[in-house]
């Protein structure tokens, strides 16, 4: 069974989505640990309620960012983790962790990448006047939201939307497609070829879902 480690900085709603899908027997994985850079984040409570070990690793305890990520990689490897999930982890992952888990770190971002990378993606989309928004699950590389795209899902932008209302609708999609991407990985159905993630067996619309799996 695939062992997963989750990195989170805040409420961890995508972390909870993974837990829920596992309990529903839709996802055959074992969540081995939560690592956070925030001592009082709600994700820790979610871990405690579900018997998942949670580790607060304070970045201020390390002289360099690389040393910090060496520590995270060590803890993940010590837990036997085979896939790392970023669930609202508000830091750019650096080389020591990327080298430890090449194309085995996933992130979900609230835009249809490559559009609107970085923070406040939903506001960026609204400010630009798009008619369609959405979310993307991708493998993590050294850039910010630049790694190979695994799967995407779209929502229509409704007249009168603000960043909060659009974010809420996108988040519901995140909770569907992120576990689905992990499921594909756990079944050995993902292969990275350059910038392209090939999905063995295919996915509706080649990885762009207007009706994501529940």
Summarize pLDDT for 40-96 with one digit per residue, the tens. Answer: 999 999 999 999 999 999 999 999 999 999 999 999 999 999 999 999 999 999 999
Q: Which of 184, 167, 155 is nearest to 124 (CA)?
A: 167
C-alpha to C-alpha distance for 184 and 149, rounded to whole angstroms? 13
The total of structural domains in the chain comes to: 2
Q: Active-site residue 138, yes or no? A: no
Residues 79 and 117 in one domain: no
Residues 130 and 88 in one domain: no
Spot the catalytic one: 70, 109, 138, 175. 109
Residues 87 and 111 in one domain: no
Give the SS3 label for residue 113: coil
| N-terminal to C-terminal alpha carbon distance within the chain | 22
pLDDT interval class at 201 (50, 70, 90): confident
Average pLDDT, the chain: 94
pTM, rounded to two decimals: 0.93
pLDDT above 50 for 214: no
Residues 113 and 209 in one domain: yes
pLDDT interval class at 144 (50, 70, 90): very high
Residues 201 and 119 in one domain: yes
| Residue-wise burial string across 77-111, b where 16 or more C-beta atoms lie within 10 A, e elsewhere | eebebbbbbbbbbeeebbebbbebbebebbbbbbb
């Amino acid at each position: 069974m695939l062992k997963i480690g989750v990195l989170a900085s805040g409420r961890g709603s995508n972390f909870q989505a993974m837990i829920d899908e596992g309990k529903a027997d839709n996802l055959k994985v074992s969540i081995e640990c939560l690592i956070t850079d925030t001592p009082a984040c709600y994700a820790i409570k979610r871990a405690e309620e579900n018997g998942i070990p949670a580790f607060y690793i304070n970045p201020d305890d390390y002289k360099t960012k690389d040393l910090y990520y060496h520590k995270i990689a060590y803890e993940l490897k010590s837990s036997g983790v085979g896939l790392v999930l970023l669930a609202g982890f508000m830091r750019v992952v650096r080389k020591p962790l990327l080298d430890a888990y090449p194309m085995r770190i996933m992130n979900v971002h609230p835009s249809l990448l490559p559009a609107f990378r970085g923070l406040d993606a939903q506001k960026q989309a609204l400010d630009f006047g798009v008619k369609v928004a959405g979310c993307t699950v991708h493998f993590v590389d050294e850039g910010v939201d630049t790694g190979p795209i695994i799967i995407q899902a779209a929502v229509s932008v409704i007249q009168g939307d603000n960043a909060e209302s659009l974010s809420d609708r996108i988040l519901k999609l995140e909770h569907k497609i992120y576990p689905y991407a992990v499921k594909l990985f756990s079944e050995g159905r993902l292969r990275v070829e350059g910038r392209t993630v090939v999905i063995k067996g295919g996915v509706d619309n080649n990885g762009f879902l207007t009706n994501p799996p529940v």
